[in-house]
Structure 1
Amino acid sequence: MEVSIIENGEVIWMRNASTQANISSCSYLKDGTQQRIIAALVDALEQANGQLQLTKNVN
């Protein structure tokens, strides 16, 4: 599975679990982009976990 963060039409961060491929930049640590990437990933994880909880309530 691959997860990508896209900003202004460009992939700025990517991780492929099966191939171990990734895209990132050390400059993101300095300019705050890394924190925004983490926040987007946390939001996505919370949404996915919420959707999983919905399936537990379906009979």
Structure 2
Amino acid sequence: MATKLDKTLKREITIDEKSYIVTIDPEGLKLTEKGRRKGPELKWKDIVSGDAALSKALNASVED
């Protein structure tokens, strides 16, 4: 049986020798560089509906 996500969880990860904080809460998840406040954020609703993938594709096309 899975535990219900009813509060915020924060975990530190290292990617390419940089530390990041992953914040998981009932609304979604956020990835920020350690010591920073802003970073990419995904809502669970957007992930389930497929809007997150669409948003990523649109951002990639604008950056090119």
Structure number, greater radius of gyration: 1
Tell me the TM-score normalized by structure 2: 0.36
Tell me the TM-score normalized by structure 1: 0.38
Higher strand share: 2
Higher helix share: 1
